[in-house]
Structure 1
């Protein structure tokens, strides 16, 4: 296949397929190439679900990104006939005063006025009988977080990218990327 594209995305799962969809939706001529046939079992998206939370223990600078991502997942679900997101909440806990991740998640929730419930170990055991944590732990429940149905997300982004004109080449491992002054050639194992 000797076609010209504005953008070639190598790896058409998770980030790649989403990028392909958003670019094609803007009228960009996109080619997505994957070594397998997404969704598949050979990447980190594999499996039923992935957690999405808004209070971030890795740093509060991620909160606006997580909230924007949630808006985009909600938008995708409105366009989808597949389940994309389940608002089941997210629970976090760790030793009081010894868990920087939990402390930062709680601080980020407070800074961005996110809905969280601070819970004791007794409250957790009462609410979720299968979970028992030590009394010296602190915990929070974030009711607006939940899980993404990861393979459904990829299926929908793939379908919508095609609707918007993206080409998708699957089962074609990339063997070489040749760069020139004003272009790039991507060579796959199948030479397509």
Structure 2
């Protein structure tokens, strides 16, 4: 019968050493906590009983405990180290057994590890109907005016263009212009292209 408590033992390896504990808690994080919601108020508790050479896993509910068993039965066929473990349910639920008198032994003092699910994305309570904020219009730099043509006669269109140098406008838009000063000793006779200049502009999309 399924309970909220699972016992893990082994006859061939020390289940309470650091490697085995990390292996099993990693299994819980990757295969259990990613498939159910476990909060800080009701975490999965892993007790490391070094003297008894066993691990005790207490889940918030029996459903999560069943999920642990199902995932373990699946992974033990693919991960050799898990084949050395013996995993089974305890006789009683830890949550109900604590509240009643019994002659059974209680869990002795032990190292306890608390595991919770990773934060949701988006977080709980996120307003899906809220519109995004408009982009920041303050760019922090002087935006040159639009120039109608890419010739050196349009010096007045851009305050940052040096008047004594010819320039070529590679990109002309309402937001900003990309201006390239002509090199005095060009290494090529080809006309400069926006594709060959490294700027802060994003790469062109195939849908442009």
The bucket for the TM-score relative to the shorter chain is under 0.3
Structure with the largest fraction of strand: 1
Max radius of gyration: which structure? 2
The TM-score normalised by the length of structure 2 is 0.19
Higher relative contact order (CA 8 A, sep 6+): 1
Structure with the largest fraction of helix: 1
